[in-house]
Amino acid sequence: MTLIKNSLILSLMCFVFSAHAAIPVPAAPKLSAKSFLLIDINSDTVLAQKKIDRSIEPASITKMMTAYVVYKELEIGRISLDEMVPISEKAWRMKGSKMFVEVGSKVRLGDLLMGLIVQSGNDASVALAEHIAGTEVIFADYMNQYAKTLGMNKTNYVNSTGWPHHRHKTTARDIAVLAKALITEFPEHYQLYSEKSMTYNGIKQYNRNKLLWRDKSIDGIKTGHTDSAGYCLVASAKRGDMRLISVILGTRSNKARTDQSQKLLNYGFRFYESHALYVAGEGLKDVRIWEGEKENLALGLKQDLTVTIPRGQYKKLEASMEIDQTIIAPVKKGQEMGSVHVKLNGDEIISMPLVALNTIEKGGLLQRAKDKIILMFD
């Protein structure tokens, strides 16, 4: 079917949310990190980047995927937060950051999850991996399967902790994909990433993400450090309806990763704004459908349409629709019937398919015959 341009500007665009004059957008901060990325997760807009597909050792950033697998197991009911997890000698002997579990003891799974997220405990990570998969090697295979499902195409895990290994690699882009999944799929668990401290076995330890003390809008996510990987930090902040994720990989110090993450986030919030234009499932246009049990078909979007643009530019947005010229029943819910296009200053910034919001079957014989005649002379 051919497409015809619908000159109708969608009614929502008539409202002006920002009356400010446009603010010039300067270049992103120059950072010393080996790789970095700043993204608005509601629109998937990249606001700043450097070598985001460069293969990097993730260090303890790895534990974001360890937690993701745990959340998936909780979701499908194979484990529970209150069950007791045995601590192996391997878990107990782990070096680096620890929550100090005792070999041969049993620890509540929820406590291990807290130790994994807040304290970045290598012992907690191995204990969880062994409990879920039997061995850490098999658990790493789980991690890689989920990475593939999420589209983390340049990531490979060989352990649950981020302990250095020449085949244990990821990228800033892939980490951002995982961070978004943690936030959007498991909001009830994500809140743990904002905890500043935890106490276990009489030992109080503090979250290594120093941004939690600097900026109230920051609520996660994860630090990482090894000699080979450098100092890394994945951070997320929400101000109003806008949520940004920054990924900083390979800086020289704890202070550097913290300062550079703060610079990136401040840059994004200062010079950009995010707007939710249309809601998934909302009827944007009713169109004529021929030879169907009904004469009208509602069109909308499968997912929310959000844009991230330079501040003060909202009133310059324009949206238009392209709709299939002749739509004949049957039509299934979700079937593509055209597209929505959003432009800023004449340049298209995003487009999404228009889909049928309901199913319409073929009409009766009389209705089909009548519509065929009308179409014949149209």
pLDDT at 101: 97
Q: What CATH code is carried by the domain that includes residue 290?
A: 2.60.410.10
Q: Would you say residue 27 lies in a domain? A: no
- Sequential DSSP letters for 175-187: HHHHHHHHHHH-H
Q: Average the pLDDT over 197-213 and give the result.
A: 96
- Percent of residues, the chain, with pLDDT higher than 90: 88
pLDDT digits (tens, 9 = 90+) for 256-309: 999 999 999 999 999 999 999 999 999 999 999 999 999 999 999 999 999 999
C-alpha to C-alpha distance for 324 and 164, rounded to whole angstroms: 54
Q: Would you say residue 267 lies in a domain? A: no
160 and 237 together in one domain: yes
Q: Is the pLDDT of residue 10 over 80?
A: no
Higher pLDDT, 3 or 292: 292
Q: Average the pLDDT over 138-155 and give the result.
A: 98
pLDDT at 327: 94
Q: Which residue has the tokens 């939710």?
A: 276
Q: Is the pLDDT of residue 108 over 80?
A: yes
303 and 203 together in one domain: no
Q: Is the pLDDT of residue 40 over 70?
A: yes
97 and 189 together in one domain: yes
pLDDT-based confidence at residue 8 (cuts at 50, 70, 90): very low
Alpha-carbon torsion (181, 183, 186, 191), positive or negative: positive
pLDDT at 12: 32
242 and 298 together in one domain: no
Q: What CATH code is carried by the domain that includes residue 177?
A: 3.40.710.10
pLDDT at 199: 96
128 and 11 together in one domain: no
Ramachandran area for residue 297 (φ above 0: left; ψ -120 to 50: alpha; else beta):
beta
C-alpha to C-alpha distance for 13 and 377, rounded to whole angstroms: 36
- Percent of residues, the chain, with pLDDT higher than 70: 94
Q: Is the pLDDT of residue 48 over 70?
A: yes
Of 204, 235, 251, at which residue does a domain stop? Answer: 251
Of 251, 286, 309, at which residue does a domain stop? Answer: 251
Q: Average the pLDDT over 153-158 and give the result.
A: 98
The pTM of the full predicted model, rounded to 2 decimals, is 0.89
pLDDT at 16: 30
Q: Is the pLDDT of residue 209 over 60?
A: yes
Arithmetic mean of pLDDT over the chain? 92
54 and 175 together in one domain: yes
Q: Would you say residue 30 lies in a domain? A: no
220 and 362 together in one domain: no
189 and 302 together in one domain: no
Ramachandran area for residue 312 (φ above 0: left; ψ -120 to 50: alpha; else beta):
left
pLDDT at 130: 98
187 and 81 together in one domain: yes
Q: Average the pLDDT over 134-155 and give the result.
A: 98
284 and 228 together in one domain: no
Q: Would you say residue 178 lies in a domain? A: yes
Beta bridge partners of 4: 323
pLDDT digits (tens, 9 = 90+) for 212-256: 999 999 999 999 999 999 999 999 999 999 999 999 999 999 999
Residues 6+ apart with CB under 8 A from 287: 296, 297, 299, 323, 327, 337
pLDDT at 22: 54
Domain carrying residue 296:
3-18+277-377
35, 88, 97, 120: which one is catalytic? 120
Q: Would you say residue 167 lies in a domain? A: yes
C-alpha to C-alpha distance for 144 and 141, rounded to whole angstroms: 5
Q: Would you say residue 291 lies in a domain? A: yes
Of 251, 286, 303, at which residue does a domain stop? Answer: 251
Catalytic residue check, 120: yes
C-alpha to C-alpha distance for 271 and 26, rounded to whole angstroms: 8
pLDDT at 3: 30
Q: Would you say residue 111 lies in a domain? A: yes
286 and 201 together in one domain: no
pLDDT at 23: 61
168 and 285 together in one domain: no
Catalytic residue check, 88: no
pLDDT at 376: 86
Catalytic residue check, 7: no
Q: Would you say residue 100 lies in a domain? A: yes
Which one-letter amino acid corresponds to residue 340? V
pLDDT at 4: 29
Number of domains observed in the structure of the chain: 2
Which one-letter amino acid corresponds to residue 326? T
35, 43, 60, 97: which one is catalytic? 60
Torsion angle of C-alpha atoms 290, 292, 297, 303, degrees rounded to 10: -110
pLDDT digits (tens, 9 = 90+) for 336-351: 999 999 999 999 999 9
35, 43, 63, 88: which one is catalytic? 63
pLDDT-based confidence at residue 164 (cuts at 50, 70, 90): very high
DSSP category for residue 164: -
